[in-house]
């Protein structure tokens, strides 16, 4: 056996896709906050999340309606225990047992729960609860252990970047000594149960508060002047990576080198006050699009290249009851009516520009969508007209069709308005609808629902094949020819050792040649 390798039995070529799934990079989730009075019901939110292929969701409590709504969806939930509950759970094991019995066990495993976060950003809490966190985490973990779920549901706690006393240069990253009394025991506990350290990272705040020292492009993952760590010589092209490495170096300084780090909140606001000039839709789209691509591509950081990093984008909706500056209420990916604030491919698998490598989220054209300021009656009247006298093909927004979900008036009206707009000259008048329509340069398409541009109206959401293959074409893909092609391909791969396939095996990604596998 070669050093550092495990011998595998012969694997058919067609099975390689199975192994490829293990090396897909980090995961991207979304935070589902509910500090608002205008949000859709949890069951509609669960539908929206599935519609947009979101697989990982963080919630901040154990709300019964939310847990029920996600039953049998396959979405993996990170469930939170608020700081206000830490005292009771930390004092007695029986309280943790009861919390688990009442809040998790009735809904698990129909509702997939993978994490329980015990407390959130405790260093930011107006009431000092830091001494309660580790005892509470221990009790929750013990409660899970009693019912045999401690290896299926992971316990941790989330932190603000302010847990560091220094974050620049990244190699000087260090935890604040005033938090040592709870941090050291917590890190020891996390290492013991093999749980990740969780951190909330916001390059937006670092840029907003130090715009004279930090470039906007650097904060947005856009091409910018490189930042070099003078101690290590490592080159940083994004603030996110610099903040991540500051955490890694702080952990290494305390000899916790193997702890994984999960980013439980990050994002960019889509709107702000007059002084918050960087809080815009375009910047929010740029940051989150670049973040997703960075994570999905398994890029890692300069200090830990190829490190898998899981992130949760904050947040699903704008939340109108949050206090503070205007930006605090505008971090959402969606409006409360479930329409997208901007186009974002949350799977990271959208079309990619062959030259720049960037995900394509809009075309050079314009689209027409329902105005957020239009009344429900105006939208209904305009929708009825577009699908009637306006001669728009509205079959795509019928039940079971690609654009039916989300089943909202605004979403259906947006699809119909755009179809009419594209068919009638792409003019201001064609997008008027009595003030109910508004033009946008952001492609509102999502998943299998394609918002057409001029000249592509008829087949935008067609599920039928464009043409029927001829007899000759059909015979070219017969089983005999496929088998011969496959055999030749296998022989070719064996002869040319330069082609490698990544396989994650026993916790790590290693390079294996095709000859090793076959």
Mind telling me the catalytic residues? 121, 265
C-alpha 99: how far from its chain's center?
28
Distance from C-alpha of 161 to C-alpha of 177, rounded to nearest angstrom: 14
My answer on whether omega of the bond before 294 falls inside 30° of 0, hence cis, is no
My answer on whether omega of the bond before 5 falls inside 30° of 0, hence cis, is no
| Angle between helical axes of 376-387 and 409-423 (0-180°, round to 10) | 40
Structure tokens at 160: 């603000």
C-alpha 187: how far from its chain's center?
26
Closest CA to 450 of 491, 418, 492, 487: 418
Helices marked H in 331-408 = 376-387
Structure tokens at 464: 């039928």
Q: Are 454 and 426 a contacting pair, CB within 8 Å?
A: yes
DSSP calls for 262-278: EEEEE---S---TT-TT
CA angle 55, 58, 62 (to 5 degrees): 120
| Residue whose tokens read 């592509």 | 456
Structure tokens at 165: 């006393």
Contacts of residue 2, defined as CB under 8 A and 6 or more positions apart, other chains included, come to none
- Greatest C-alpha distance within the chain: 76
Task: Name the CA dihedral angle for 441, 51, 406, 400, rounded to a multiple of 10 degrees.
Answer: 120
Distance from C-alpha of 365 to C-alpha of 152, rounded to nearest angstrom: 47
C-alpha 517: how far from its chain's center?
33
Give 489's DSSP letter: H
From the number of C-beta atoms within 10 Å of its C-beta (0-12, 13-18, 19+), residue 405 rates as: buried
Q: Are 29 and 311 a contacting pair, CB within 8 Å?
A: yes
Structure tokens at 38: 């205008």
CA angle 223, 57, 87 (to 5 degrees): 115
Strands (E), 304-460: 310-314, 367-370, 437-440
Dihedrals φ, ψ of 157, to 5°? Answer: -150, 150
Structure tokens at 178: 């005033």
92-123 burial code (b ≥16 CB/10 A, e <16) = ebebbbebbeebbeebbeebbbebbbbbbbbb
């Amino acid at each position: 056996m070669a050093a550092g390798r495990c011998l595998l039995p012969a694997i058919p070529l067609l099975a390689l896709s199975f192994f490829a799934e293990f090396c897909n990079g980090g995961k991207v989730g979304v935070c589902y906050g509910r500090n608002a009075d205008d949000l859709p019901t949890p069951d509609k939110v669960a539908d929206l999340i599935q519609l947009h292929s979101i697989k990982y969701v963080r919630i901040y409590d154990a709300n019964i309606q939310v847990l029920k709504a996600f039953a049998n969806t396959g979405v993996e939930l990170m469930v939170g225990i608020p700081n206000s509950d830490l005292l009771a759970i930390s004092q007695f094991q029986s309280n943790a047992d009861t919390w688990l019995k009442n809040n998790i066990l009735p809904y698990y495993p129909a509702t997939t729960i993978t994490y329980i976060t015990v407390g959130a950003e405790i260093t930011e809490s107006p009431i000092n609860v830091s001494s309660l966190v580790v005892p509470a985490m221990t009790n929750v973990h013990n409660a899970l252990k009693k019912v045999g779920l401690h290896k299926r549901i992971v316990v941790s706690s989330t932190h603000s970047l302010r847990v560091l006393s220094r974050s620049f240069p990244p190699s000087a990253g260090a935890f604040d000594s005033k938090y040592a009394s709870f941090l050291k025991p917590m890190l020891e506990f996390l290492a013991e149960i093999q749980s990740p350290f969780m951190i909330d990272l916001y390059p937006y705040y670092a840029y907003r508060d130090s715009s004279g020292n930090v470039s906007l492009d650097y904060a947005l993952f856009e091409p910018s002047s490189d930042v070099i760590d003078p101690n290590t010589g490592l080159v940083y092209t994004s603030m996110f990576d610099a903040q991540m490495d500051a955490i890694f170096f702080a952990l290494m300084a305390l000899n916790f080198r193997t702890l994984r780090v999960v980013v439980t909140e990050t994002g960019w606001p889509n709107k702000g006050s007059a002084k918050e000039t960087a809080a815009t839709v375009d910047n929010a789209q740029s940051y989150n699009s670049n973040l997703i691509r960075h994570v999905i591509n398994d890029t890692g950081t300069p200090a830990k290249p190829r490190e898998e990093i899981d992130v949760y984008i904050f947040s699903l909706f704008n939340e109108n009851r949050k206090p503070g500056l205007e930006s605090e209420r505008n971090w959402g990916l969606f409006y409360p009516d479930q329409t997208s604030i901007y186009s974002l491919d949350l799977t990271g698998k959208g079309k990619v520009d062959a030259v720049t490598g960037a995900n394509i989220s809009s075309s050079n054209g314009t689209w027409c969508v329902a105005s957020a300021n239009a009344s429900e009656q105006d939208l209904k009247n305009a929708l009825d007209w577009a699908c009637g006298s306006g001669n728009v093909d509205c079959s795509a927004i019928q039940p079971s069709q690609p654009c039916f979900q989300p089943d909202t008036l605004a979403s259906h009206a947006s699809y119909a308005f755009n179809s009419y707009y594209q068919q009638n000259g792409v003019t201001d008048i064609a997008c008027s609808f009595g003030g109910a329509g508004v033009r946008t340069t952001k492609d509102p398409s999502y998943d299998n629902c394609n918002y057409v541009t001029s000249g592509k109206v008829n087949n935008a959401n067609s599920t039928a094949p464009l043409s029927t293959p001829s007899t000759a074409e059909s015979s070219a893909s017969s089983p005999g020819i496929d088998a011969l092609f496959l055999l030749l391909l296998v022989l070719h791969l064996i002869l040319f050792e330069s082609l490698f396939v990544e396989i994650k095996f026993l916790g790590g990604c290693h390079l294996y040649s095709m000859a090793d596998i076959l």
